[in-house]
Structures are given as C-alpha cells and as structure tokens.
Amino acid sequence: EEQEEEEMEVDEEPPKVELTADERGRWFRKTPVPDMSPFALSTSFTKFSIPEQEDGFDQVRFEWSKGDKCKEYLKQWVRDRKLTTRIEDLEPSEWFNNRWKDWQKALQAWHAKQNQHKAAVAKKTAEAAAKAAKRKAEAEKAAAAKAKAEKEKAEKEKAAEEGGEAQGDGQKEESAKEDAEAAAPPEEEKEEKEEPTVDFDKLDVFSV
C-alpha cells in the first residue's frame, strides 16, 4: 500500500507557472525595495551608461536585446527621468545667472509700466466718476431750485387770486349797499307844529 501511494504521488504533474501579458512584456523584475535611494539615484542617473569592453570587461553579453537597442533604451530612460526626477546637484551656470538677472530687471520694468498704466486708468476713471457726480449734483440742485421757484410762483399767484377775490367781494358789498340806500324812499321829516291855545271862557259854542 505504501508503494502504491508513492507511485500515485509520483504520477501527479507539478503545477505550471503561467505569466500574464503584462509580466511577459517586462524585461526587469520589480523589487519591493529599490536598489538605490532617491537622492543617490537623482544625483547619479545622468551618468549611467552601458558597459563596454573598453571599460576593462573581458566580455559583455546582451541577453535580452542587442547592444544598440540597449543603449537607446538607456538614453530614453534617462530622458524620461530628467522630466520627472528632481536633480539635487543641479547648479546654474554663469550664463544662466546673467540671463536671470536680465530677466528680473526686464520683469520689474514691465511691472512698473503695468502699474503706471493701471494708475492712469484708475485716475481717469476716478476723474470721470467725479465729473459725473458733480454734473448729477448740479442737475439735482438746478432741479430743486426750479421746483422751489415754481412753488413760490404758484403760492404768489394763489395769494394774489385770493386777495383779488376778497377785494372784489368788498367792492361788491359796498356797491350793493349804496344801491340799496339809493332805492330806499326818503323818510318824511316830522315837523313839530305848535297847537294854538284855546280859551274855553270866550268860546261861543253856538257860533260854530
């Protein structure tokens, strides 16, 4: 029985390793820990090169691609790294420093001109606003004066009309009174006559 179990175990085929499409396209294996620190890589990757026999090697073999393609790959890799990696040991040259100073001077001059232009535009805008406000105030003042004059004129005309009506009413009353007095009959003057004195002793009653 033990021999049969051993034979059965031997007959089983070991699992085959299958690579994905992404893994098949990789030429370098990725490790969890990088071979160089970021600072060391950024300060030295521009000096990377493909080993050659002139460097003292007995033999250089390119297992995964030809030598020219390997060199081109390395050049492209360095170019890509220059676009994304911060170069720690980069120092500007004297030419760059001179050009930078010229650029700073030109930039300051442009900023000064821009500020002058903005100030001139702001001044013009302020002056236009002040003139518009002055014209508006003068127009409002003239309108108020005109309204006041018209009001005073209307009040004077109203007062004159009221005074004329009162004077006309007085004149009408006086003329009506005069007409009434003229139409009324004159009062008879009462003349006081002295009554004669009668002597009753000498009066003859039969002589009448």
Supply the mean pLDDT for the chain: 80
pLDDT digits (tens, 9 = 90+) for 34-43: 888 888 888 8
Task: Flag whether pLDDT at 192 surpasses 70.
Answer: no
In a domain, 53, yes or no: yes
Residue 190: the pLDDT is 47
Full-model pTM? 0.36
In a domain, 5, yes or no: no
In a domain, 77, yes or no: yes
pLDDT digits (tens, 9 = 90+) for 45-93: 888 998 888 888 888 888 878 888 888 989 999 999 889 888 787 788 9
- Both structure tokens of 79: 């170019």
Residues 6+ apart with CB under 8 A from 73: 65
Q: Strand, helix or coil at 149?
A: helix
Domain count, the chain: 2
Q: Which amino acid is at 33?
A: V
Note down the domain range covering 53: 21-84
Task: Flag whether pLDDT at 145 surpasses 70.
Answer: yes
Name the residue among 13, 4, 82, 102 with its Cα closest to residue 41.
82
